[in-house]
Structure 1
Amino acid sequence: MTAPLDSAPGRLTIDLAALADNYSTLARRVAPARCAAVVKADAYGIGLERAVAAFWAAGARAFFVAHLGEGVLARNLLPEEAEIYVLNGLEGDADPADYGAHRLKPAIGSPEEFSRWTAFAARRGRPSPCALHLDTGMRRLGFDSLAALTIAMERDGAASGADLLMSHFVSSEIPDDPLNAIQIARFAAARAAFPHLRASFANSSAIFLPQRPIHDLARPGYALYGGNPTPGRPNPMRPVATLTVAVQQTRWIEAGVPCGYNARWTAKRRTRLATLLAGYADGLPRAAGATDEQPGAEVLLAGRRCPLVGRVSMDLVIADVTDVPEAAVRPGDRAELFGAGIEIDDFAARSGTIGYRLLTSLGRRYRRTYVGGQASS
């Protein structure tokens, strides 16, 4: 169920032109390598259908999803020639034939998965394309050593249909983290062992590392959607998502009066509050509001940054608008939580979380409007 468009107090505006421009910016930066698009988690919460269309129009021909189900959805939306890789590999007891039927390429990450995939290829009578995932330090998925991967390939490499070697950075957003150099060296050794495979290592932040570990296929995700791949430096990406919510009520309280659940924030002066129609049921972090012990996030009202105060409720959050002219904030006016005025990473950091989680947690009660594409809605 989605909210009726005219009644939703929260509005999420998604700029498809900015999305396409972010892809083009990254594609130029990684050239002559190719640039894929990571579209997992419903394209980071902005909507898979519109996102893949925008990326395809911008030139993307390779896409990465997390799950089999996401891959099937993406395949139904994309032209036949699109490459679609499934990052989590063969899920649990999933039938490899389901991947083959939809021309999906799982990222094979263990000897067991490799055996299942090559057995499927043998039943099918031909190699079935896949990626090979080598763990170079994340310790989540992937062959746990180059030796293990080499043994598997020596046994059944021809049958595997592997066309891509990949790994994942641990700390690419921190340029001077020594783990980057360690992982780059490990991946270089693997690439030397399998020179016939295309290689993919660079996520959003790794594209900006001085070592340029781009290889053949970069696979940015968060940066495509406006997140800053270079924390602590100016964001080279355009904002894609803008979230605004309506003011429901304003009131004055006196100094010493608390507000919100558990009275965690107390007014230090006579204060004007504005209650906004969004809360944690809409994906806002519960810790976005300031307490007496620590500051919180800010929103933009009448062109001024205003702090959120008190614990975020399920459906409501409170902003301190004392420093905004009283006539400039009335019920029905709109507050920007993030967008062009407040970067999503700024709002997330002040809320005690990260922009990735904020984007992918946005609830279904927002009115979603797409602009900048071939058609707006």
Structure 2
Amino acid sequence: MFDDLSAQSGAAAGPAPGRLTIDLGAIRANFTQLQRIAGSPVGAVVKANAYGMGAGPVAIALLAEGCRDFFVAHLGEALSLRPLLPPEARLYVLNGLLPGGETPCAAANIIPVLNSLEQIDAWANTAKALGRTLPGVLQFDTGMSRLGIAPEDRAEAARRIGAANIELAFVMSHLASADEPNDAQNADQAAEMRRALAEFGAEKMCFANSGGIFLGADFRGVLARTGIALYGGATENGVKSPLLHAIGLEIAVIQTRRVEAGARIGYGGTHIATRPMRLATLAAGYADGLPRSLSDRGAVYCDGVRLPIVGRVSMDSMVVDISALPEGRLTLGSPVEMLGARQSMDDLARDAGTISYEILTGLGPRFSRLYI
């Protein structure tokens, strides 16, 4: 059986339906390897609770490895993480600040990414009200059309920054197609970034994300930022990650049963047994972040044997075919491997028709967490 549910989950104490294992040593080793490849400092993206792995434990482990730059998406994430970091660690809010967030951001020594003229003005007004210079990062939109200063607004952004008590740590942008190294959009964005740097008169650039670190020197700048690669996720579509897998997930068996040919399995009876089968019902489903699209497509493993998911994934359970295992191998509480040596996050994402980011960030609080 697995450990009690984490107190952080807010759930009642009791045996957990599954256990998520986070290898902090692997995350530290991946950080060191990425920094070696980049040839420059690397910052850790720990938004969305470090992609579901736990922002606090991951950040503390990376601090011990020398990381001093951390990125989150929202101010609330930064305010939760700030007390765990030393004063010299830099904490950035990628989405910038919503109205009303400026004063608590400044008070906590958090650095906002300024994505629009409105955000520049609000941060400048805060600096004026406080009577001191505030740090910031300016983001350019280089072709993703998501966040950042548009090309036609760059001159105005430069004017407003120049008139404000804002000290820019660097300028940045985000790559849209770094997981496809041969995609022409990468070169297009690099060219646009060079134009932006020249027009703005900036020298310090933060451009590369996890995939961008592998694209070459044109993309790295003074700081790269990595998220999925820290946890061993692939940075190039269809190519196995050269980094260490840091995540494991085991799920407990609730019940085993034998069915005859013709038995209907799961909601809608979409899977009909074509032969006598032995089945195991597992204690997790789409409410735990295991996509419903794994129905009749995904699998778990036991003793190296692939056990296919049969029928639809339910909210709190799923059924797998265990006919290939010796009878009696799995009983109430036995663990099976969803993520681990036999199945990576990228493998599971492929079977679900999604990406590893969605798999990791969706893994729910009902799983216990074990840090090694």
The equivalent of 2:167 in structure 1 is 161
Q: Percent of counterpart pairs with the same letter?
A: 44
Read off the aligned partner of 2:295 and give its amino acid letter.
G
Asked whether the equivalents of residues 109 and 133 of structure 1 are also in contact (C-alpha less than 8 Å), the reply is yes
1:69 to 76, 84, 91: 76
Per the alignment, in what secondary structure is the counterpart of residue 243 of structure 2? coil
Question: 1:269 offset after TM fit, Å?
Answer: 2.5
The equivalent of 1:375 in structure 2 is none
Question: Where do residues 96-175 of structure 1 align in structure 2 (5 Å cutoff)?
Answer: 96-145=102-151, 147-157=152-162, 159=164, 160-175=166-181
Within the alignment, does 1:7 sit opposite 2:12 as a pair? no
The equivalent of 1:185 in structure 2 is 191
The equivalent of 2:45 in structure 1 is 38
C-alpha distance in 1 between matches for 2:28 and 2:274: 46
1:218 to 192, 211, 224: 224
What are structure 2's unaligned runs of at least 5 residues? Answer: 1-9
Asked whether the equivalents of residues 18 and 240 of structure 1 are also in contact (C-alpha less than 8 Å), the reply is yes
* Number of aligned residue pairs: 362
Read off the aligned partner of 1:49 and give its amino acid letter.
G
Asked whether the equivalents of residues 241 and 339 of structure 1 are also in contact (C-alpha less than 8 Å), the reply is yes
Q: Deviations over 1:31-80 (max 9, x none)?
A: 1x210000101111111110110111111111101000111112111000
Per the alignment, in what secondary structure is the counterpart of residue 248 of structure 1? strand
TM-score normalised by structure 2 residue count = 0.93
Change (3 A) 1:329 1:165: same
Within the alignment, does 1:285 sit opposite 2:291 as a pair? yes
C-alpha distance in 2 between matches for 1:208 and 1:34: 14
Read off the aligned partner of 2:95 and give its amino acid letter.
N
Change (3 A) 1:286 1:232: same
Q: Deviations over 1:234-285 (max 9, x none)?
A: 2112111211011121222223322111122222332221111111221111
Question: 1:212 offset after TM fit, Å?
Answer: 5.0
Q: Deviations over 1:185-207 (max 9, x none)?
A: 11122223345442111111111
C-alpha distance in 2 between matches for 1:247 and 1:174: 39
Question: Where do residues 17-32 of structure 1 align in structure 2 (5 Å cutoff)?
Answer: 17-31=25-39
C-alpha distance in 2 between matches for 1:211 and 1:232: 23
Read off the aligned partner of 2:178 and give its amino acid letter.
S
Question: Where do residues 207-286 of structure 1 align in structure 2 (5 Å cutoff)?
Answer: 207-210=213-216, 213-286=219-292
Asked whether the equivalents of residues 22 and 371 of structure 2 are also in contact (C-alpha less than 8 Å), the reply is yes
Asked whether the equivalents of residues 111 and 149 of structure 1 are also in contact (C-alpha less than 8 Å), the reply is no
C-alpha distance in 2 between matches for 1:210 and 1:327: 53
TM-score normalised by structure 1 residue count = 0.92
Question: 1:2 offset after TM fit, Å?
Answer: 3.1
The equivalent of 2:6 in structure 1 is none
Asked whether the equivalents of residues 282 and 365 of structure 1 are also in contact (C-alpha less than 8 Å), the reply is yes
Question: 1:158 offset after TM fit, Å?
Answer: 5.2
Read off the aligned partner of 1:7 and give its amino acid letter.
P
C-alpha distance in 2 between matches for 1:211 and 1:268: 56
Read off the aligned partner of 2:158 and give its amino acid letter.
M
Asked whether the equivalents of residues 84 and 105 of structure 1 are also in contact (C-alpha less than 8 Å), the reply is yes
Asked whether the equivalents of residues 302 and 328 of structure 1 are also in contact (C-alpha less than 8 Å), the reply is no
C-alpha distance in 1 between matches for 2:203 and 2:127: 18
Per the alignment, in what secondary structure is the counterpart of residue 337 of structure 1? strand
Asked whether the equivalents of residues 121 and 160 of structure 2 are also in contact (C-alpha less than 8 Å), the reply is no
Question: 1:94 offset after TM fit, Å?
Answer: 2.1
Asked whether the equivalents of residues 3 and 367 of structure 1 are also in contact (C-alpha less than 8 Å), the reply is no
Per the alignment, in what secondary structure is the counterpart of residue 250 of structure 1? strand
What RMSD over aligned residues (CA atoms) do the two structures have, in Å?
1.6
C-alpha distance in 2 between matches for 1:156 and 1:195: 12
Per the alignment, in what secondary structure is the counterpart of residue 312 of structure 1? coil
Per the alignment, in what secondary structure is the counterpart of residue 192 of structure 1? helix
C-alpha distance in 2 between matches for 1:238 and 1:120: 43
Q: Deviations over 1:118-170 (max 9, x none)?
A: 1222222232110001111221111111x412222124325222221011111
